[in-house]
Amino acid sequence: MKREVLKPGRFTRDKKSKEIHISELKVGMFVSRLDCDWLETPFMVQGFLVECLDDIDVISEFCEHVWVDAVTEKWVPPEEREASNYRPPQAVRYVNKLPAQDEHRKALKVYRESQGVAKNILEGVRLSGVVDSKQAKSTVNDCVNSILRNPDALLWMSKMRDRDEYTSEHSLNVCVLAIAFGRHLGMEEEALQKLGLCGLLHDVGKMRVKTEVLNKAGKLTDKEFTMIKAHTVHGRNLLMSTSGLPNIVVDVAYSHHEKVDGTGYPRKLKASGIADFARIIALVDAFDAMTAERCYSDAISSTDALKIIFKDRGSHFDERLALEFIKAIGLYPPGSIVELINGTVALVLATNYRYRHLPKIIQILDENKQPLKQKIINLVEADSGELDKGFLINRVVPDGTHGIRLKDFQDQGLRLNAAIG
C-alpha cells in the first residue's frame, strides 16, 4: 500500500480514508476530503492536518462529515509537542506612525476611558450576568488603533496600577499587552481585534467567584482554590451566552490556564490541544499578574517576570511564543522604573527598537532619591559618547519602589508631551 510522508519524524499515513462526523474530529487527524466543495471553504489546500481546536471550529462551520486518513505508524501526537507552529498567514510589518511622545496625548485619553469601560463590563457581569460585547469591541478598537500608531504609549499607561481596581485593570492590561504582542508577531488588524477581545474578557468568570475568596490575602484552602479555578468555566458559560463574540474569545476564557505540559486547568490540555490565542493570553496574563501588586503578593520587576517565563518555557508556556514574548517586551518596557548607574531614578518613556538596551527615559529622582526637575534623556547618546556612562540603566525595580507609583503620575495629570516639548 502506497504511503505518503507528510511531516518527517512525526507520522506517515496511507491512502485509506474513513468518513466521520465532525463531532468525532480530533486534533492530530488528517482531513483529506469534505462533504462540500473545497472552493466553498477558506482552506487553502485540499487536505490538511488538524493542529488545534480552532481548526475544528472552522471545519464545523462548513461541513457535517469529513474523511480522515488512517495513521498507520505510531507518532508523537500534536498534544505532546511543546512548540507552537503559529505563524500569521502573511506576517504584517508595522511601522510606527507617530513618535511615542505624540501618541501619549491620545493614549492617556484612550486608557482612562478604557479603564472605565473595563470596570463597567465586569460590574455588569457581576450584577446582571450580561457581557456588554458592543462596549468591549469599541474599547478594543481604540486600543488597537493606538498600538498601531505607536505601542509604547499605551504600554506605558498599562503600568499605572491601582491595587483596589486590580481585576478590571488587569483585564485591560492583558488586552493592551496582547495586542502589542500580536503586532510584534505580525498579525493583521482583524486578528489583533480578536486577540484584544480575548484579553479584555479572559477573566469575566471571576465575577462569579465570591469577592472574599478572590481578594483573600492569605493562603487559599483547597476548596477556595477550586472556586478560583472555576472562573474558567464561569467565563466560558457567560461568553457562550453572549451574542456577537468570536468563538475564540469563549475558548480563551476557558483555556488560558492550560499549560503545554498538561498540568494546567480545567481540562489538563497539552500543547496543540490549546489554541494559539489561549497560549498567547496565558503568557500575557502571567506577566501582567507577576508585575502587579496584588492583595496576596508583591509585584516583581518586569525583568524577573521574564526570567520566570524563560524558565517555564516548554513546560508551562509555549516555547516559541515565550521567546518571542521576551523579545517583544524587551529589557526595559515603557513605564518601567529603573535605577541608573549614577544612582538616579527614572521612568522608561519609549523603546529604541534599534538599540533596545538604550531607551528614552524621564529622570525623576536624584542619587539621594529626592525629586528633581523632570528631564527627558535619550540613552543612545551615552553609546555615542554624548552622555556620561553613569546614565546607563543599572536595574529595573517594581512599581512602588522609592515611593514611585505610575498611578500617581496619572492622577496628577502628567502630560509627557508637555514635559518633552
pLDDT confidence bin for 290, thresholds 50/70/90: very high
Highest mean pLDDT among 67-71, 164-168, 222-226, 272-276: 222-226
Contact between residue 213 and residue 220 where contact means Cβ atoms under 8 Å apart = yes
Rg, C-alpha atoms of the chain: 23
Residue 421 has pLDDT above 50, yes or no: no
| Structure-block grid coordinates of residue 404 | 514611585
- What the chain holds in terms of domains, given with CATH numbers, is 3-76 (no CATH), 100-329 (1.10.3210.10), 337-420 (no CATH)
Report the number of secondary-structure helices (H) and strands (E) in the chain. Answer: 16, 10
Structure confidence at residue 278 (pLDDT): 96
In this predicted model, what pLDDT tens digit does every residue of 25-64 receive, in sequence order? Answer: 887 788 888 888 766 666 655 667 777 777 787 788 788 8
Structure confidence at residue 271 (pLDDT): 81
Mean pLDDT value across the chain: 83
pLDDT confidence bin for 87, thresholds 50/70/90: low
pLDDT confidence bin for 185, thresholds 50/70/90: very high
Structure confidence at residue 249 (pLDDT): 96
Considering Cα of 21, then 27, then 32, then 34, what sign does the dihedral take? positive
In three-state form (DSSP H/G/I as H, E/B as E, the rest C), the secondary structure along 381-401 is: HHHCCCCCHHHCEEEEECCCH
Residue range 352-372: average pLDDT? 87
Give percent of the chain with pLDDT exceeding 90: 43
Structure confidence at residue 170 (pLDDT): 93
Prediction pTM value = 0.75
Distance (Å, whole) CA 339 – CA 349: 14
C-alpha angle 175-177-181 in degrees, rounded to nearest 5 = 115
Structure confidence at residue 93 (pLDDT): 80
Per mean pLDDT, which range of 126-130, 224-228, 229-233 is the poorest? 126-130
In this predicted model, what pLDDT tens digit does every residue of 144-177 receive, in sequence order? Answer: 999 999 998 888 888 877 766 778 899 999 999 9
Contact between residue 157 and residue 143 where contact means Cβ atoms under 8 Å apart = no
Sheet holding 48-49, edge to edge: 3-7, 11-21, 65-71, 30-34, 48-49
Q: Which residue has the cell 518555557?
A: 313
Residue 12 has pLDDT above 50, yes or no: no
pLDDT confidence bin for 330, thresholds 50/70/90: confident
In this predicted model, what pLDDT tens digit does every residue of 201-217 receive, in sequence order? Answer: 999 999 999 989 988 88
Better-scored residue on pLDDT, 404 or 70:
404
In this predicted model, what pLDDT tens digit does every residue of 100-140 receive, in sequence order? Answer: 778 888 888 899 899 999 999 999 998 988 999 999 999 99
Per mean pLDDT, which range of 34-48, 268-282, 364-378 is the poorest? 34-48
User: Which of 143, 180, 101 lies closest to 414, judged by CA?
Assistant: 101
Better-scored residue on pLDDT, 9 or 286:
286
Contact between residue 13 and residue 4 where contact means Cβ atoms under 8 Å apart = yes
Strand ranges for 153-259 from DSSP E: none
Structure confidence at residue 415 (pLDDT): 47
Residue range 330-336: average pLDDT? 86
Structure confidence at residue 133 (pLDDT): 94
Sequence-separated (6 or more) residues with CB below 8 Å from residue 222 = none
Q: Which residue has the cell 492569605?
A: 218
